[in-house]
Amino acid sequence: MRHVDSFEIQPPTPPSHNGVPRSAWARARRRVSRWHRPYIAILLLADFGAAALASFLAVQIFEQAASGFRDAPQAWFYTVAFLLLPLGWLLILWGNRTYDRRYLGLGPDEYKRVIRSGVAVAATVSFLAFATKTTLSRWTVGFALLGALLLILLGRMIVRAGLHALRRRVGQAGHRMVLVGTLPECLEVYTTVTRNPNVGLVPVAIHLTDGYAAARGLETPVPVYAGRDVLALVREVGGDTIAVCGSASAEPGELRRLAWQLEGSGVDLVVAPQLTDIAGPRVHIRPIEGLPLLHVEEPTLSGPALLLKNLMDRVAAALGLLLLSPLFAAIALAIRISDPGPVFFRQPRVGHEGRTFRVWKFRTMYVDAEERLAGLVDQNETDGMLFKMKQDPRVFPVGRFLRASSLDELPQLINVLWGEMSLVGPRPLPADDGDFLGDVRRRLLVRPGMTGLWQVSGRSDLSWDEAVRLDLYYVDNWSLAYDLSILWRTVGVVLARKGAY
């Protein structure tokens, strides 16, 4: 933290230009952040290799069927299968902007564009085969196209994981941001973008628009400036991105002139509106007479998507209970040997629309745990409505393993099958911990889940306010694709035993 006491006011210099025409081939070079260049090169090699590997596997698996389109010379066949088709993949992937640095490294947009490219490749191959009357083996071509799509997605996941590891451990391969706005707005954006190191957004300075006096004597995480030319400040601190926060662009024409000033500088301009915790699919830009209006749709809390989610939950829960029954029997036996008593622990929880239900869990504590709780209240290691201790003496050894591996949560599949819970949703809270007033009550608009954003974001290591924020974000922005993403992330979190105690 930096303590702001004094600074030197410098008169702002006029913009260097207001949109100087440049050659059609000219391209602004990035000032500092060049991580995307080697990253894109790796993606190009990975995508080409994935498409070529899929063609190779298709030929090997369907060798006999492939002979149907080997009427052409063998050299030409291999040229098409292992060179032209992979190059076609790269061309269509590039056309769908899957190599645009704005979509790389985080979020589902990159994968959506890859899938869209896969559809385009399939359509192109079908059209060319029809136009040239080429005899193709449908099994071989289908395997090659679908295999290439899956391998490309897998390769990009692996490359993205490497990028995230680099950002977390080394702090590199990110964007250095200068925040512009009032101090409260800039600090709010700072807290948001630094919450997840995988995002790769690193604020390096704050430029105040409401005068330096607003920050005098306050502690700030990065240096604070005022009365400076923003572009000159970006160059001075080694930034490559300017983030205009909240009301900083309230003056008519100010944001437009800043965009003009940044043309040709290689510095990105982003706008962080005061509307937070709203996911991209709910936000649409509607230009009205040159004025871009943000249209925010209502969250999807009913309709066909919700019915499909409920159906998916019931089917998955039924299959899970059937397949996991041998594991349930082994865990039940281990619990009875460790501490004689009931195998399951059932506790009242608050569910959808405030209805109370009893959650199913494997018992992980001694039978007298509730009586011993009163003597441990002052050792609570978390805030909010839950009691948590990393070394809770009421947990027996087998129960500690069940908690660390999250196996104690598996019986909640029964609650999912009965429609009391969902596979993904806000975590269910005890029914005797208050009336869920204010913002907390909004989380009751959807069914609680076995896993959710809180679990894949730190679980017990999170503060109560942070857990509530994540739950509310899920309620406002859930989708089937988002559910599948959280389920996938849950696997890694459970294996890493992060925040489980």
pLDDT score at 118: 94
* Residue predicted with more confidence, 250 or 274: 274
pLDDT score at 54: 92
Evaluate whether 356 touches 350 at the Cβ level (below 8 Å).
yes
Within 8 A by CB and 6+ apart from 24, the residues are none
Which amino acid appears at position 282 of this protein? R
Residue 390's CB is within 10 A of a number of other CB atoms, namely 9
pLDDT score at 231: 86
* Residue predicted with more confidence, 405 or 254: 405
Element (H, E) at 346: strand 344-350
Residue 384 Cα distances to 329, 458, 463, 465, 486, angstroms: 35, 16, 8, 8, 24
Question: How confident is the prediction for the chain on average, in pLDDT?
Answer: 80
Out of 11-25, 184-198, 208-222, 376-390, least confident range: 11-25
**Burial class of residue 307 in the structure, from the number of CB atoms within 10 Å of its CB (0-12 exposed, 13-18 middle, 19+ buried):** exposed
- CA dihedral over 114, 168, 457, 161, signed as positive or negative: positive
pLDDT confidence band for 400 (50 / 70 / 90): confident
Whether residue 270 is predicted with pLDDT greater than 80 in this model: the reply is yes
| Residues linked to residue 271 through DSSP beta bridges, in sequence order | 244
**3-state secondary structure at position 283:** strand
Buried b (16+ CB within 10 A) or exposed e, 13-26: eebeeeeeeeeeee
pLDDT confidence band for 49 (50 / 70 / 90): very high
Out of 89-103, 107-121, 172-186, 369-383, least confident range: 369-383
What is the distance between the alpha carbons of residues 254 and 391, in angstroms, rounded to a whole number? 56
In order, the DSSP letters of 80-121 are IIIIIHHHHHHHHHHHTTTT-GGGSSSSSHHHHHHHHHHHHH
Evaluate whether 348 touches 432 at the Cβ level (below 8 Å).
yes
What is the distance between the alpha carbons of residues 29 and 192, in angstroms, rounded to a whole number? 28
User: For 387-404, what is the mean pLDDT?
Assistant: 78
Which amino acid appears at position 86 of this protein? P
Q: What percent of the chain has pLDDT over 70?
A: 78
pLDDT confidence band for 168 (50 / 70 / 90): confident
Q: Which fold has domain 2-18+174-276?
A: Rossmann fold (3.40.50)
For residue 54, give both structure tokens.
Answer: 């899929």
- Residue ranges per domain, the chain? 2-18+174-276, 36-169, 304-496
Out of 80-94, 144-158, 276-290, 372-386, least confident range: 372-386
Whether residue 383 is predicted with pLDDT greater than 80 in this model: the reply is no
Whether residue 262 is predicted with pLDDT greater than 60 in this model: the reply is yes
What is the distance between the alpha carbons of residues 202 and 239, in angstroms, rounded to a whole number? 9
**3-state secondary structure at position 396:** coil
Q: Which of 338, 463, 460 is nearest to 391 (CA)?
A: 460
For residue range 414-461, list pLDDT tens digits in order.
Answer: 999 999 999 999 988 877 655 566 777 888 888 999 998 888 876 666
285 phi and psi angles, rounded to 5 deg: -95, 125
456 phi and psi angles, rounded to 5 deg: -85, 0
Evaluate whether 85 touches 53 at the Cβ level (below 8 Å).
no
pLDDT score at 274: 67
Q: How would you write 433-465 as a 3-class SS string?
A: CCCCCHHHHHHHHCCCEEECHHHHCCHHHCCHH
Residue 141 Cα distances to 51, 75, 121, 208, 400, angstroms: 12, 18, 11, 58, 51
| Residues linked to residue 208 through DSSP beta bridges, in sequence order | 181, 226
Q: Which of 454, 358, 349, 373 is nearest to 406 (CA)?
A: 454
Evaluate whether 329 touches 347 at the Cβ level (below 8 Å).
no
**3-state secondary structure at position 279:** coil
Q: Regarding beta strands 201-208 and 224-226, do their DSSP bridges make them parallel or antiparallel, or are they unpaired?
A: parallel
For residue range 225-243, list pLDDT tens digits in order.
Answer: 888 888 889 989 888 889 9
Q: Which of 198, 216, 217, 200 is nearest to 208 (CA)?
A: 216
Residue 122's CB is within 10 A of a number of other CB atoms, namely 16
Which amino acid appears at position 214 of this protein? A
Report the phi/psi class of residue 338: left, alpha or beta, with left for phi > 0 and alpha for psi in -120 to 50: alpha
User: For 74-81, what is the mean pLDDT?
Assistant: 75
Question: What's the angle, vertex CA 435, arms to CA 429 and CA 440, rounded to 5?
Answer: 65
Question: What's the angle, vertex CA 203, arms to CA 198 and CA 206, rounded to 5?
Answer: 160
pLDDT confidence band for 16 (50 / 70 / 90): very low
Residue 231's CB is within 10 A of a number of other CB atoms, namely 19
**3-state secondary structure at position 181:** strand
User: For 344-348, what is the mean pLDDT?
Assistant: 89
Q: What is the CA radius of gyration of the chain?
A: 28
Evaluate whether 234 touches 266 at the Cβ level (below 8 Å).
no
Whether residue 399 is predicted with pLDDT greater than 80 in this model: the reply is yes
For residue 62, give both structure tokens.
Answer: 């369907």
